[in-house]
């Protein structure tokens, strides 16, 4: 149960509610009772379908009813009928689901049943589904069920049309991010699409670098707009780490294994790596002058410096000192997470001693 | 004692009474509308009671009898008597039976067979049931269930791990399926699953730990994704993952304890998703389990991987098998 306010009704109000519920409970229990009977007798008829409609409209999380509904369709309406009728039946099913979505935009079971309907259809209209999910994301740009459904629909669409939708979907995340820089779901989606885009477009080194630089521009605009929002900062750190071919961090170890990593697509040498790190360090330092208390800004600077240290031989003591100073500052600013900064600091203090 | 004073401490007796009363609310429509969660409710309630040192508040005989009545011929369990079998309920059933030390009441081989039948041979993923929904929640359910039954040999563990790793994201977290955004609930499932099969080295603990500790908001509560509202259940999903990764100290414990305590219903008992909301047994367990991880006094310790009282996990010889 989420987000339902606790109210303490008077004894009289409570009595009235219970009286009203007596009838509702009786009706509902009768429906459920009929379901068990029909299921036992394997009655896959229109009455059974209507029964599941009634129960699911009231209770879309009753998963067994969805299962029964599919059995009714498979053994009844969809059995031994023309492709046309089949299409019609399942289209009606989609309309029913759309009505349920309005009240329950985050139900696993409803999305699940929708996928089943479309996959059971001879001619699913994936374009229509893409429009539908676009509307969901207009209503709630962070609905992760809707984002999942979007990835599902676009993968089906690109299969049937044999064209890649990567660029279109990449542009979709640009739109969502420009509407709201804090749309973490869109940044996440971008982290999946960018490596794919580079791979599919078969870009040369220069073009790849240009595309990545554009990403750095976008993410800079985001954290300059709201330095307190972590979405852009995490994406920025991912971009920096992805650009590395020599870093020993686990993130890079892992992405080397992944066929879609940027690393395979973007090979830069150490001097380019240092250049990139220094450029980003400067970007972050500039912002820090305007926002001296931005914890994500400070954290990112510490990350970048630490990464720089593993790429240069000189200044190692100076870098350690600066990271320790940053940690001290973070400990003062971000009281809830002091232990994390202490852990981080200890790595650089021990380096100094060692 | 006024409400705010009451909410300074865990209202143990009230919560025990609240959990005991759950099966008596038959004149509420809600009771009937949530029938599909009955078995889950027993797991949430029973685990909470054990952590509260009050397991006897529910009669063992009744609990075991009820769980057994939810099993199907194929070995799987439904959410209630007559409800269809599903992997999530199968895990809840096994968890309850392990707590009650009553696995001999059911046919374990059949359960193992059912869980193994849910694995996709090609991808290593698990479906929730025969209808084919795939989700990393189900990977956790399968691995946890078979580990509790000491029958991980029944499935392809390397393939299961391979699938989980496909769900890893740029922030070190995990989503429901490959491509899906990181979500704290899913992170608990994936980190827990990896811990069960000794594969925590695949987790980027510093990066994920950073993401997880940033879930704590100014009011002390934790959210499940960036820029979302706090919710008591993340006191479990986020905290358990941090605990498994050895980074529980990266959040402010006092502030979180305060937040969970304020979400208690100081009259009717139980804990809500956030202060001022209706309590339910789901948030009651995850609030209490979170407090247990935080070392709140007089609670039994909870195991962060299995979400079971630690003494239960120790009794069956599984405790501390995972390493960071």
Mean pLDDT of B195-199: 96
B279·A6 Cβ contact <8 A: yes
**Chain B residues closer than 8 Å to A339 by CB:** 249-250
Task: Check whether B322 has a pLDDT greater than 90.
Answer: no
Would you state the pLDDT for residue A5? 85
**Cα B291 to Cα A344: distance, rounded to the nearest angstrom:** 26
Task: Check whether A148 has a pLDDT greater than 80.
Answer: yes
Among A3, A28, A249, the residue with its CB nearest the CB of B273 is A3
**Cα B288 to Cα A50: distance, rounded to the nearest angstrom:** 42
Q: Residue for token digits 């699940």?
A: A112
CA angle B66, B119, B35 (to 5 degrees): 30
Domains in chain B: ranges and CATH:
3-316 (1.50.10.20)
The verdict on residue A200 lying in a domain is no
Write out pLDDT tens, residues B242-290.
999 999 999 999 999 999 999 999 999 999 999 999 999 999 999 999 9
- What mean pLDDT is reported for chain B? 95
B267·A8 Cβ contact <8 A: yes
Task: Check whether A101 has a pLDDT greater than 80.
Answer: yes
Nearest CA in chain A to B165: A254
The verdict on residue A241 lying in a domain is no
Calculate what percentage of chain B has a pLDDT beyond 70.
96
Residue from A5, A6, A54 to probe the interface with B (highest B Cβ count within 10 Å): A6
Task: Check whether A267 has a pLDDT greater than 80.
Answer: no
For A129-149, b where at least 16 C-beta lie within 10 A, e where not — what string?
Answer: bbebbeebbeeebbbbbbbbb
Closest Cα of chain A to B154: distance in Å? 27
Write out pLDDT tens, residues B124-171.
999 999 999 999 999 999 999 999 999 999 999 999 999 999 999 999
Would you state the pLDDT for residue B115? 98
Would you state the pLDDT for residue B123? 97
The verdict on residue A201 lying in a domain is no
* Spacing of C-alpha B45 from chain mean position: 12
Write out pLDDT tens, residues B5-54.
667 899 999 999 999 999 888 989 999 999 999 999 999 999 999 999 99
Task: Check whether A4 has a pLDDT greater than 90.
Answer: no
Residue from B33, B264, B284 to probe the interface with A (highest A Cβ count within 10 Å): B33
A335·B214 Cβ contact <8 A: no
Q: pTM surpassing 0.80?
A: yes
Confidence of residue B3 (pLDDT cuts 50, 70, 90): low
The verdict on residue A32 lying in a domain is yes
The verdict on residue A40 lying in a domain is yes
**Chain A residues closer than 8 Å to B247 by CB:** 340
B27·A18 Cβ contact <8 A: yes
Model ipTM value: 0.95
**Cα B72 to Cα A23: distance, rounded to the nearest angstrom:** 32
**Chain B residues closer than 8 Å to A60 by CB:** none
Calculate what percentage of chain B has a pLDDT beyond 90.
94
Task: Check whether A343 has a pLDDT greater than 50.
Answer: yes
Would you state the pLDDT for residue A260? 45
B227·A340 Cβ contact <8 A: no
B204·A250 Cβ contact <8 A: yes
A337·B252 Cβ contact <8 A: yes
Task: Check whether A353 has a pLDDT greater than 80.
Answer: no
Q: Which domain holds residue A33?
A: 24-100
A63·B170 Cβ contact <8 A: no
Quick one: angle between helices B38-51 and B281-293, nearest 10? 30
Q: Residue for token digits 């500039």?
A: A286
Q: How many domains does chain A have?
A: 1
Confidence of residue A350 (pLDDT cuts 50, 70, 90): low
Would you state the pLDDT for residue A163? 85
**Coil, helix or strand at residue A149:** helix
**Coil, helix or strand at residue B191:** helix
CB atoms within 10 A of CB A8: 9
Burial level of B97, CB count in 10 A (0-12/13-18/19+)?
buried
Would you state the pLDDT for residue A315? 87
């Amino acid at each position: 149960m989420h987000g339902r306010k606790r109210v303490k009704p008077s004894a009289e109000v409570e009595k009235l509610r219970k009286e009203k519920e007596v009838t509702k409970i009786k009706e509902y229990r009768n429906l459920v009772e009929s379901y068990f009977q029909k299921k036992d007798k394997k009655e896959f008829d229109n009455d059974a379908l209507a029964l599941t409609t009634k129960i699911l409209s009231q209770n879309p999380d009753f998963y067994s009813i969805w299962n029964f509904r599919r059995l009714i369709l498979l053994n009844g309406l969809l059995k031994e009928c023309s492709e046309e009728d089949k299409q019609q039946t399942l289209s009606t099913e989609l309309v029913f689901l759309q009505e349920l979505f309005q009240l329950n935009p985050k139900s696993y079971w409803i999305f699940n049943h929708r996928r089943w309907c479309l996959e059971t259809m001879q001619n699913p209209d994936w374009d229509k589904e893409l429009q539908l999910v676009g509307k969901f994301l207009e209503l709630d740009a962070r609905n992760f069920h809707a984002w999942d459904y979007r990835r599902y629909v676009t993968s089906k669409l690109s299969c049937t049309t044999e064209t890649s939708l990567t660029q279109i979907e990449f542009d979709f995340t640009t739109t969502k991010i420009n509407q709201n820089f804090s749309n973490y779901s869109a940044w996440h989606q971008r982290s999946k699409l960018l490596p794919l885009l580079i791979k599919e477009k078969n870009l040369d080194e220069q073009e790849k670098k240009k595309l990545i630089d554009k990403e750095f521009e976008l993410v800079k605009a985001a954290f300059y707009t709201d330095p307190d929002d972590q979405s852009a900062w995490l994406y920025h750190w991912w971009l920096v780490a992805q650009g590395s071919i020599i870093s020993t961090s686990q993130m890079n170890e892992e992405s080397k294994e992944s066929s879609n990593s940027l690393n395979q697509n973007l090979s830069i040498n150490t001097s380019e790596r240092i250049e990139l790190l220094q450029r980003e360090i400067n970007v972050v330092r500039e912002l820090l002058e305007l926002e001296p208390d931005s914890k994500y800004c400070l954290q990112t600077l510490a990350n970048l410096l630490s990464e720089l240290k593993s790429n240069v031989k000189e200044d190692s003591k100076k870098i350690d000192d600066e990271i320790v100073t940053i940690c001290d500052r973070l400990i003062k600013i971000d009281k809830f997470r002091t232990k994390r900064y202490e852990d981080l600091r200890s790595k650089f203090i021990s380096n100094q001693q060692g | 004692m006024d409400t705010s004073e009451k909410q300074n401490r865990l209202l143990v007796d009230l919560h025990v009474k609240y959990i005991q009363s759950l099966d008596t609310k038959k004149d509420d429509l809600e009771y009937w509308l949530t029938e599909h969660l009955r078995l889950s409710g027993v797991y949430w309630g029973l685990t909470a009671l054990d952590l509260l040192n009050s397991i006897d508040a529910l009669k063992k005989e009744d609990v075991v009898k009820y769980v057994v009545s939810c099993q199907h011929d194929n070995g799987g369990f439904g959410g209630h008597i007559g409800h269809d079998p599903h992997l999530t309920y199968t895990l809840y059933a096994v968890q309850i039976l392990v707590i009650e030390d009553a696995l001999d009441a059911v046919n374990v081989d059949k359960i193992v067979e059912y869980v193994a039948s849910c694995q996709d041979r090609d991808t290593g993923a698990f479906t929730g049931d025969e209808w084919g929904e795939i989700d990393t929640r189900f990977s956790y359910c399968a691995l946890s269930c078979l580990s509790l039954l000491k029958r991980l040999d029944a499935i392809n563990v390397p393939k299961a791990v391979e699938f989980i790793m496909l769900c890893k994201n740029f922030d070190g977290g995990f989503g429901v399926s490959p491509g899906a955004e990181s979500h704290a609930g899913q992170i608990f499932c994936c980190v827990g699953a990896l811990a069960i099969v000794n594969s925590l080295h695949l987790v980027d603990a510093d990066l994920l730990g950073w993401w997880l500790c940033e879930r704590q908001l100014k009011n002390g509560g934790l959210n499940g994704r960036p820029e979302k509202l706090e919710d008591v259940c993340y006191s479990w999903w986020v905290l358990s993952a941090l605990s498994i990764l050895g980074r529980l100290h990266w959040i402010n414990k006092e502030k979180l304890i305060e937040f969970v305590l304020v979400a208690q219903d100081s009259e009717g008992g139980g804990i809500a998703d956030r202060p001022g909301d209706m309590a339910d047994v789901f948030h009651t367990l995850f609030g209490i389990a979170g407090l247990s991880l935080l070392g709140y006094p007089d609670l039994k310790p909870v195991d962060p991987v299995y979400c079971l009282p630690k003494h239960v996990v120790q009794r069956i010889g599984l405790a501390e098998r995972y390493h960071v």
